[in-house]
């Protein structure tokens, strides 16, 4: 079972309007690569050229900010839910 | 006769709402690289409002209208959607007037926001963070439609009392503070209330005043409080045809400007102020002479836990190299 990724409204043009997409990967870095393979251009909106997450983008695994996990190396397992959230409404350590 | 000294009333405010407005203008002294000597840039520091932002003006005027029309009356609860400053303003004014307040906001608003609105006694309701401020707007609409008699919904995006607040206060203040010498007015777009109402007043005094709106350069951005018009539910009060121009600013540039304004001008402001000054400088650099006024919507202390400041020192060093 793959990981489910929740896509914010402004990026759904890359996913044909889908608000969640299934992605394969055992870490956030792998997930971003797979996301970009299936939805070309998407990674470039989330990451800087050096691969780091852009500073106004928050990525959560099951509601926890990856900055407080292991950033791009944060491990993923089947059934995890990953959310990509722009910091428009501020940042928070967890989504819950 | 009261025992209160006779002149106390002239030196005090009836409620905190009476302190809304009359914010200072301060000149941008150092962040003016490439700007001609004949061009002056002044920032209007809306953080001096009692609730800490420009939104106090709209909130107070919208509630005043509600009271005058009778749509806001005892028994009603004030309800609106907001990702930030309007919520704080409504919570503050609601508390001062004795009305309960319920605010719909994306679940990932900063902890400072949640604490401030709840400190004022407001009840927060959280919407899906992935849907952003439009998601909060739609959820708020559903709540209102389910129980229309329960709520007073100021609806900042569609309420003409929002721009009117700026036509009646922000515009006249700037006109007076600049002795009518303003040539360009620059403000970022959240609802559009500030740029519309202030712009209308300034143009009513001098048609030649240029009114310039600032927005994020992309739908996917991190400039809290601002709307990218093309990809958003366009507020009913926003009339783009009244603007002289609109400038898109990148999130990274807005954030970097916030660091520069703090370190070079001694003003810790929010990201929407950073964006506005980026736009103002772009305009200023094209001029030989002029007097620009740019709105700084709030101060920066309410963003210290957000992405803007997370790891900023490392980023700043990288940027300067």
Interface confidence (ipTM) of the complex: 0.84
Both B42 and B187 in one domain: the answer is yes
More confident residue, B256 or B134: B256
> Which residues of chain A make contact with B231, given a CB cutoff of 8 A?
10
Q: How many CB atoms lie under 10 A from the CB of residue B1?
A: 4
| Among candidate residues B118, B152, B186, the one where a domain is terminated | B152
Domains in chain A (CATH in brackets) are 3-89 (3.10.20.30)
Q: Is B215 helix (H, G, I), strand (E, B) or coil?
A: strand
B118 in any annotated domain? yes
Let me know whether B106 and B184 are in one domain: no
Q: How many angstroms away from the CA of A89 is the closest CA of chain B?
A: 5
Q: Is residue B318 part of a domain?
A: no
CB contact A69 to B (< 8 Å): no
| B55, B133, B227, B273: the active-site residue | B55
Query: pTM score, two decimals?
Result: 0.91
Identify whether B48 is part of a domain.
Answer: yes
Which of these three, B127, B152, B177, is where a domain ends? B152
Residue A80 CA to residue A2 CA, distance in Å, equals 8
B305 assigned to some structural domain:
yes
Check residue B106 and give its pLDDT.
87
Q: How many domains does chain B have?
A: 2
A66 pLDDT exceeds 70? yes
Residue A24's alpha-carbon distances to A8, A20, B22, B292, in angstroms, are: 19, 13, 56, 52
- Residues in chain A within 8 Å Cβ distance of B109: 89-90, 92
Domain housing B48: 8-52+169-312
* Average pLDDT of the residues in B213-241: 89
Identify the pLDDT of residue B320. Answer: 46
Mutate to test the interface with A, among B226, B307, B315 (most CBs of A within 10 A): B307
Check if the beta carbon of residue B200 is closer than 8 Å to that of residue B243: no
Query: Would you call A55 and B132 a contact, using CB atoms and an 8 Å cutoff?
Result: no
Residue B152: is it exposed, middle or buried by C-beta count within 10 angstroms (0-12/13-18/19+)? buried
Same domain membership, residue B72 and residue B131: yes
Q: Does A45 touch chain B (CB under 8 A)?
A: yes
- b/e code B285-300 from CB counts within 10 Å (16+ = b): eebeebbbbbbbbbbb
Closest-CA residue of chain B to A5: B130
pLDDT tens for B272-294 read: 999 999 999 999 999 999 999 99
Best of A90, A91, A96 to disrupt the B interface (most B CBs within 10 Å) is A90
For residue B29, being part of any structural domain is answered with yes
CA-atom Rg of chain A in angstroms: 12
Q: At residue B316, does pLDDT exceed 60?
A: no
Query: Does the residue B190 lie in any domain?
Result: yes
Cβ A56–B130 below 8 Å, yes or no? no
pLDDT mean across residues, chain B = 92
Decide which of B124, B152, B180 is a domain's last residue: B152
What per-residue confidence (pLDDT) applies to B321?
Answer: 38
Flag if B221 and A56 touch (Cβ within 8 Å).
yes
């Amino acid at each position: 079972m793959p990981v489910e990724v929740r896509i914010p409204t402004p990026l759904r043009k890359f996913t044909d309007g889908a608000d969640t997409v299934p992605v394969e990967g055992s870490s956030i870095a792998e997930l971003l690569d797979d996301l970009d393979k299936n939805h070309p251009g998407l990674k470039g909106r989330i990451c800087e050229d050096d691969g780091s997450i852009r500073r106004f983008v928050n990525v959560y695994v099951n509601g926890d900010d990856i900055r407080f996990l292991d950033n791009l190396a944060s491990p993923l397992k089947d059934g995890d839910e990953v959310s990509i959230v722009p910091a428009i409404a501020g940042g928070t350590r967890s989504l819950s | 006769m009261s025992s209160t000294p006779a002149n106390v009333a002239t030196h005090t405010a009836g409620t905190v709402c009476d302190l809304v407005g009359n914010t200072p203008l301060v000149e941008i002294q150092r962040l003016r690289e490439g700007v001609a000597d004949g061009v002056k840039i002044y920032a209007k520091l809306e953080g001096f409002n009692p609730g800490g932002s420009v939104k106090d003006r709209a909130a107070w005027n919208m509630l005043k209208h509600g009271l005058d029309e009778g749509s806001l009356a005892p028994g009603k609860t004030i309800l609106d959607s907001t990702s930030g400053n309007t919520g704080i303003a409504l919570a503050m004014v609601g508390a001062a007037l004795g009305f309960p307040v319920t605010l719909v906001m994306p679940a990932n608003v900063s902890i400072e926001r949640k604490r401030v609105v709840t400190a004022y006694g407001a009840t927060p309701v959280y919407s899906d963070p992935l849907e952003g401020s439009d998601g909060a707007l739609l959820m708020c609409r559903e709540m209102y439609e389910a129980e229309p008699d329960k709520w007073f919904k100021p609806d900042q995006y569609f309420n003409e009392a929002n721009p009117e607040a700026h036509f009646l206060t922000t515009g006249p203040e700037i006109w007076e503070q600049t002795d009518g010498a303003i040539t360009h007015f620059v403000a970022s777009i959240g609802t559009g209330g500030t740029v519309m109402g202030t712009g209308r007043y300034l143009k009513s005094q001098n048609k030649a005043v240029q009114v310039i709106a600032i927005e994020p350069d992309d739908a996917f951005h991190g400039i809290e409080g601002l709307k990218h018009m093309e990809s958003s539910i366009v507020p009913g009060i926003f009339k783009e045809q009244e603007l002289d121009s609109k400038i898109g600013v990148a999130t990274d540039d807005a954030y970097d400007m916030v660091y520069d304004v703090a370190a070079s001008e001694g003003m810790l402001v929010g990201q929407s102020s950073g964006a506005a000054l980026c736009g103002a400088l772009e305009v200023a650099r094209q001029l030989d002479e002029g007097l620009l006024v740019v709105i700084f919507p709030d101060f920066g202390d309410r963003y210290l836990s957000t992405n803007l400041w997370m790891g900023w020192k490392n980023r700043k060093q990288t940027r300067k190299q």
